[in-house]
Amino acid sequence: MAPASFRELLEVDGVREELEMRSRFGFMAFHGGGLEAMTDVIARHAAERSGSSFYAVLHPDDDPPHLSSTQVDPQQSAALRSFIDHVHIVVTIHGYGRRGFFTSLLLGGTNRTLAHHIREALDDRLPAYRLIDELDEIPKELRGLHPRNPVNLPVFGGVQIELPPRVRGSSPLWWDWEHGLTPHTEALIDGLAQAAASWEMAAQTSSLG
């Protein structure tokens, strides 16, 4: 039987949480592990490289259960609650696949200033992809605007990034790649880390001024 709540999901065999507290900027991937492949890896590396906080839920590889983002409730997880209370702003990494969008990265969520900032950091690093940060161009169900979506719970909200398989290194294009993370995934992580670090630096400078 599929879990009916986030609490029940966390009790499923093979499902586990990861939490690393650092700065007030956070990266999150609660559909990680075998569910939306490589999302937790991308979020973890970007967090480590930028000194950001990190939260993930890792799912097993064999037909893992899927809960919608609005069901991922911090009141049902002490780790997620601690993360949301600690960070001021967050980037949530998701994976998706949709005809007509196989080279499109979708930047949703309520913090549109951060979305534009991330697009600027990624544009030059990912020339083979389209970075979409205009909400009207993102399919409605992938915009990440629901107030219960964890990406919008920190004090300054955040950005939900939907990644197609190719940039995650999980498409047929990379099936014979044997050298760790693919160049596209490395470029993505570097851009996300740079965006987080420069955002944090701007916030610190503003507080001093």
- pTM of the predicted model as reported, rounded to 2 decimal places: 0.94
Closest among 166, 167, 156 to 190, alpha carbons compared? 167
The CATH fold assigned to 6-208 is Aminopeptidase (3.40.630)
Per-residue pLDDT of the chain (209 residues; tens, 9 = 90+): 789 999 999 999 999 999 999 999 999 999 999 999 999 999 999 999 999 999 999 999 988 889 999 999 999 999 999 999 999 999 999 999 999 899 999 999 999 999 999 999 999 999 999 999 999 999 999 999 999 999 999 999 999 999 999 999 988 788 888 888 999 999 999 999 999 999 977 766 555 44
E-strand ranges in 81-182 read: 89-95, 104-108, 130-132, 158-163
**H-run or E-run covering 119:** helix 112-123
